[in-house]
Structure 1
Amino acid sequence: MRIAICDDEARGRERIQTLLEKEFDQVQTREFASGTKLLAAVREGYQPDILLLDIAMEGMNGMETARQIKALSDVILIFVTGVKEQVFQAFDVGAFHYLVKPVEEERLKEVLNRAIQEVHKRQSTPKFLLVKTGGAHRRIPVEDILYVENNGRKVVVHTRTEKLEYYERMNHLEEVLGEGFYRCHRGYLVALGTISGYDNTSITVSNGDKIYLAKQKYSEFVKLYCRFLKE
């Protein structure tokens, strides 16, 4: 697990570094004194899993650094700030969470544990699904998939823009796509992040399509979906 610390104050970096060394022994940390130096390292190939980024830095501030690094990396961003009012801006640039200075040990531990869980979750979910259709192989972004429908010996992958039918087993797809998808019926596999509504017999996805929800799976689905929304 690679964690980057970016703060133009040495004392701030040292404080976080000390807490990390005390609480987390399976992480590799790297310190940066400016957003410019951090961005240069990322452009040269450095890929942190988690970034602890100060907002109020001289030169390139944390907000601008975050905007630029988000265009280069899928890093989990945690802002560190001495001014609580600044945290509202943090979520405009896709921040995972924030910490208020002086950083408290228990709060850092809590937020970082959640961030580490998110890293593991992302690593366990594939970014692309390889589909063979029409005699050619295609890479389909997993984030574009709404649901998968069983059709005999084939499956139909419904994405935001098209439908793709090919030979595959639903059980195998369920395993490949991972925990971001739920087998709501023997004939359907739905992407949890695309659900716009449900009742006791069906699930509606973002394009308006309705798919079957098996009666015996309703309670399990509601619990899992509520947990998904909280995360």
Structure 2
Amino acid sequence: MDIAVVEDEKVIREYLCRLIQGQKPESRIEAYAAGADLLASGKRFDLVFLDIQMEGMDGIETARKLRKSQEETVLIFVTAMKEYVFEALDLYAFQYLLKPVDETKFAEVLERAVREAARKQEKRGLFIKTRNLTLDQADILYIESRGKKVEIHTAGEKENIEIYGTMEGLEGQLGKGFYRCHRAYIVNMDYITEYASDSISLTGGNKVYLAKKKYGEFVKAYMWHLQSGGVSSV
């Protein structure tokens, strides 16, 4: 489970991180002092604790921008002001916590939020607007860029799907089990059978390019994928 804490007050930020670490030690936690830093990271999170009153970009604006690319992220607002609750609900916030944060209440909310994030991961599909079709992400082997089109290669004997679109557009919908290994390829790491410094082999004898400059990053991502419960086909 990938969790982000966005809070401009260092003491509170570290306090929330300690609470999460104590309750969910298997989670990967990232801390940010500003909403702009969270957005600039480009990382996808299952769960985000977001302070509302921050200098510069506040939590509400940060959430609006985050929702454009991460619709499934579970948002929990942390605030000292009750009047923000209605704006939080407009952004489909899962919960809001009032400062000072009560440990018992926090533990209860975190547990429910983690279950909700896991439920969303299980149901996650890839919506293809031009076909009015939702494809189960578990059925995707890899995605290949072909000029102005992308081809979605599927596992088993299912038909491949070719559509007009961009890799960036599809990448924003995919779960963390996928990796952009090359400008022209995104792979489902559950189907990896072998990899080298310049290529990745997948189930069914398929092979795609791996950008050499991404090799180190890819190995870390793949190891984390396996440690987080991903399937090994090696």
TM class by smaller structure: 0.5 to 0.7
1:155-200 superposed Cα distances (whole Å, 9 cap, x missing partner): xxxxxxxxxxxxxxxxxxxxxxxxxxxxxxxxxxxxxxxxxxxxxx
Q: Which deviates more, 111-120 or 63-72?
A: 111-120
Q: Structure 2: which 5+ runs fail to align?
A: 136-234
In our comparison, the structure showing a higher alpha carbon Rg is 1
Q: Deviation at 1:84?
A: 1.7
Within 5 Å, which residues of 2 pair with 1:12-23?
A: 12-23=12-23
In the superposition, relative to structure 1, how do residues 139 and 79 fare at CA in structure 2: closer, same or farther (>3 Å)?
same
Matched, 1:69 2:62: no
1:41-100 superposed Cα distances (whole Å, 9 cap, x missing partner): 12xxx1111000000001000010000010011311100001122222211112111111
Once residues 126 and 56 of structure 2 are traced to their aligned partners in structure 1, the CA distance between those partners, rounded to angstroms, is 38
Q: Deviation at 1:129?
A: 8.3
1:39 is matched with which residue?
39
Q: Percent identity?
A: 40
2:133 is matched with which residue?
140
2:11 is matched with which residue?
11
1:93 is matched with which residue?
91
TM-score (norm. length: structure 2): 0.53
Q: Deviation at 1:19?
A: 1.0
Aligned length: 133
Once residues 128 and 38 of structure 1 are traced to their aligned partners in structure 2, the CA distance between those partners, rounded to angstroms, is 24
Q: Deviation at 1:118?
A: 1.0
- The alignment's C-alpha RMSD in Å is 2.1
TM-score (norm. length: structure 1): 0.54
Matched, 1:49 2:42: no
Within 5 Å, which residues of 2 pair with 1:175-194?
A: none
Q: Structure 1: which 5+ runs fail to align?
A: 131-137, 143-231
Aligned AA (1:97): Q
Secondary structure, in 3 states, of the residue corresponding to 1:30?
strand
Secondary structure, in 3 states, of the residue corresponding to 1:71?
helix
Once residues 69 and 127 of structure 1 are traced to their aligned partners in structure 2, the CA distance between those partners, rounded to angstroms, is 19
1:211 is matched with which residue?
none
Once residues 21 and 125 of structure 1 are traced to their aligned partners in structure 2, the CA distance between those partners, rounded to angstroms, is 26
In the superposition, relative to structure 1, how do residues 47 and 129 fare at CA in structure 2: closer, same or farther (>3 Å)?
closer
Q: Deviation at 1:139?
A: 6.4
Once residues 20 and 112 of structure 1 are traced to their aligned partners in structure 2, the CA distance between those partners, rounded to angstroms, is 8
**Runs of 4+ with deviation above 4 angstroms:** none
Q: Deviation at 1:126?
A: 4.2
Once residues 79 and 115 of structure 1 are traced to their aligned partners in structure 2, the CA distance between those partners, rounded to angstroms, is 12
